[in-house]
A and B are shown apart, each in its own frame.
Chain A
Amino acid sequence: MRLPTHLPLFWTICLINGVVFVVAALLLVLTPARVSSDPVAAEAAVVALGLAVMLLANALLIRWAVAPLQRLITRLEDIEHLEPTHLPEEGSGPVLEMAQGVNGLLLRLANAQRAGDARALAAQEAERHRIAQELHDEVGQSLTVVLLGLKQVEGRAPADLVPELAAVRESARAGLDDVRRVARRLRPGVLDDLGLTSALAALTTDFAAHSAASVRRSFTPGLPALSPEAEVVIYRVAQEALTNAARHADAREVALSLQRLGGSVVLEVRDDGRGFEGLTEGSGLMGMRERAALVRAELSVISQPRHGTTVRLRVPVDGVAGAA
């Protein structure tokens, strides 16, 4: 049994009360039950019984009418545990409207949060970019000047100063190496200067140099152009996946590929390492998911003990419709 959908809650309750009163009145009129001006005990008992039945019927009906509302309130209370945050749109009249309203609100909140996250991440990348650039352009160049100047002075210095000057020169060199390393960690210059494929190739060479595993890379030529944001996301996810493979997987071989599939560009990092059971959201996975969400990319991580791990990122290419 369903109430008409558009009946406000107030009228629902009035209607229920009205129906109960009318039924009671009809019973009083149509049945032999009578209350005389000087009621006897038996009559009082009948009236009491009738009243009790009325109250009970009323209570049950009203409870039935507000039950969806009660359920909605319970769901609202533990909304922070719901994943994804979406209420079932059920019930009738006001309850349905309320659920729809709350869902709309949740959607707007999620959108606002994603936009906020995107802004924060973009600001972070921009800031890193700026610092890296300044390290390169300011500190790096100054140290280069020091290095070259010292070399030049060394050629004309008295012999007893030469070892000392050479030691200072080595410090300048070490400083320059540090600056370069820090700048590179902040932001891979190669991504801006030479593009995504070069940046990924550089990642894999770095990986091969610092790990026992060998690495195989394959890039489909002629990949569609991606937005700078999407490129950074792909780069960072690849970086995280390789870091995980090196740190936890104990892999012998890692394969990294970037290819086009229909209207998407797909990054895949596969290792033949230990793998793990049950995804530990800690190991950088959360970060990867957050980044993926920024460019509406799908991230999937498949891992089985002793069968390695595969990280797959599917980034939609704007303006490329369907299979090409």
Chain B
Amino acid sequence: MIRILLADDHTLVRRGVRLILEQEPDLKVVAEAADGAEAVARVRDTEVDLVVLDIAMPRMTGLQAAAEIVRRRTPPRILMLSMHDNEQYFFSALKAGASGYVLKSVADEDLVGACRAAMRGETFLYPGAESTLVRDYLDRLRRGERVPTSVLTAREDQVIKLIAEGRSSREIARDLHIALKTVEGHRANILGKLGMRDRVELTRYAIRAGLIEP
């Protein structure tokens, strides 16, 4: 059973998210908050495993609340929920300590998966962010800058170029005539080889690439 704290300033959005999450037998929303400050207070008085935070909230934004929550001795995992399809928010969320970033416009599809990934200790990378990272990596490689050296297999080389073009896993699977699961495997391997496996590595990479300020 995963105990979840849900923070969003829109009551109806909160209700919608709650209904989506509670369709899963192992997810339970045990507390709700209407702003960042309230979320921080709830984490203090309620035992939760996962906090889902909206980025734009009054009094204290989701990013500020996340930074506050991860300072606890045994912090719960954090997922950001956002309207912004923008890598800068994603990287800022990682920097603040979140392990994933879910766009509201795909929350109906991705949120449950992201919750599970966060609980497994994985980073939920939203697709736009991944292609930005990969494109930036390829650019730097082409310019001859020093980047984490790694040997990609021929197949991974094909996949990384398609990711850079912003293709989804499904499209890549169709183009290369391979199974969806295989593509997912390649994606994970590639990010691992480029040194973008988890939150810490990703943040470090984004800072080095000048994508966010240290």
Question: A: which residues have CB within 8 A of B?
Answer: 136-137, 140-142, 144-145, 147-152, 155, 169, 173, 176-177, 180, 184, 189-190, 193-194, 197-199, 201-202, 205, 208-209, 214-219, 221
Which B residues are in CB contact (< 8 Å) with A177? Answer: 85, 105
Which B residues are in CB contact (< 8 Å) with A217? Answer: 210
Partner of B211, one of A137, A150, A205, A214: A205
The binding surface of chain A is classed by DSSP as: helix
Which B residue's beta carbon lies closest to that of A153?
B19
Q: Is the CB of B88 within 8 A of A190?
A: yes
Given contacts A152-B23, A219-B213, contact A140 B86 (CB under 8 A): no
Given contacts A148-B19, A202-B86, contact A140 B135 (CB under 8 A): no
> Total contacts A to B, CB within 8 angstroms?
108
Given contacts A144-B107, A208-B139, A209-B166, contact A221 B19 (CB under 8 A): no
Q: Count residues of chain B with CB under 8 A from any CB of chain A.
A: 39
Question: B: which residues have CB within 8 A of A?
Answer: 10, 12-13, 15-17, 19-20, 23, 55-56, 61, 63, 83-89, 92, 104-108, 131-132, 135-136, 139, 142-143, 166, 210-214
Partner of B23, one of A136, A141, A155, A219: A155
Q: Is the CB of A197 within 8 A of B213?
A: yes
Q: Tell me, rounded to whole Å, the shortest Cβ–Cβ distance linking A133 to chain B.
A: 9
- Which of the listed residues B12, B86, B89 has the most CB atoms from chain A within 10 Å of its own CB? B86
Q: Is the CB of B19 within 8 A of A180?
A: no
Q: Is the CB of B86 within 8 A of A144?
A: no
* Docked pose: A74 CA to B175 CA in angstroms: 74
Which A residues are in CB contact (< 8 Å) with B166? Answer: 209
Leading 3 A-B pairs by shortest Cβ distance: A148-B16, A151-B108, A176-B105
Given contacts A144-B16, A145-B13, A209-B132, contact A218 B210 (CB under 8 A): yes
Which A residues are in CB contact (< 8 Å) with B85? Answer: 177, 180
Beyond A177-B105, A202-B87, A221-B213, 6 additional contacts (C-beta under 8 Å) are A152-B19, A173-B105, A173-B108, A201-B212, A214-B142, A216-B143
* Docked pose: A177 CA to B86 CA in angstroms: 12
Q: Is the CB of A147 within 8 A of B135?
A: no
Q: Is the CB of A176 within 8 A of B104?
A: yes
Which A residues are in CB contact (< 8 Å) with B89? Answer: 190, 193-194
Which A residues are in CB contact (< 8 Å) with B87? Answer: 202, 205
* Docked pose: A219 CA to B210 CA in angstroms: 8
* Docked pose: A173 CA to B109 CA in angstroms: 11
Q: Is the CB of B132 within 8 A of A205?
A: yes
Q: Is the CB of A152 within 8 A of B135?
A: no
The contact sample of 21 A-B pairs, CB cut-off 8 A, is A140-B104, A144-B104, A144-B105, A145-B10, A145-B15, A147-B105, A147-B107, A148-B19, A148-B108, A150-B108, A155-B23, A169-B108, A184-B86, A190-B84, A194-B92, A201-B210, A205-B132, A205-B211, A208-B139, A214-B142, A221-B214
